[in-house]
Amino acid sequence: MWWKPRGNVMTGRLALCFEVVALCVYVIGGISTFGGVALIFFMNNRDLWGWGTARPLGYLFLCVGLCLSVLGVLFMRLIRNRSGQQ
């Protein structure tokens, strides 16, 4: 075999740094999701500082937040599998 696995690639500080990044992405996604829901339901047709009405921005924050939450969970699972934690 021309390629030999070298054991756990991510150990120590590198794994910890990636875990912190994954957790931050997950938390930011959750905050964005609930912020989007709040914009949709509570600020329905109000203008937000000239950016547009709150409803389309709420849907944007909702969708981006869900994507970030899923990305954070997948990143956490990837790091857990690569770092050898049980």
- pLDDT band for position 7 (50/70/90)? low
Q: How far is 30 from 69, CA to CA, in rounded Å?
A: 6
Looking at residue 1, what is its pLDDT? 46
Indicate if the pLDDT at residue 11 is higher than 70. no
The helix/strand/coil state of 70 is helix
Residue 53's φ and ψ, nearest 5 degrees, are -75, 165
Query: 14 in a domain, yes or no?
Result: no
Give the predicted TM-score (pTM) of the model: 0.73
Whether 9 shows a pLDDT value over 70: the answer reads no
How far, rounded to the nearest angstrom, does the alpha carbon of residue 6 sit from its chain's CA centroid? Answer: 30
User: Tens digit of pLDDT for each residue in 30-86?
Assistant: 999 998 888 888 887 777 777 777 788 888 889 999 999 998 888 888 877 777 655
| Residue 45 falls inside a structural domain | yes
Q: How many domains does the chain have?
A: 1
Is 13 within a domain?
no
**Looking at the domain assignment, is residue 34 inside a domain?**
yes
Query: Residue 37 sits in which domain range?
Result: 21-83
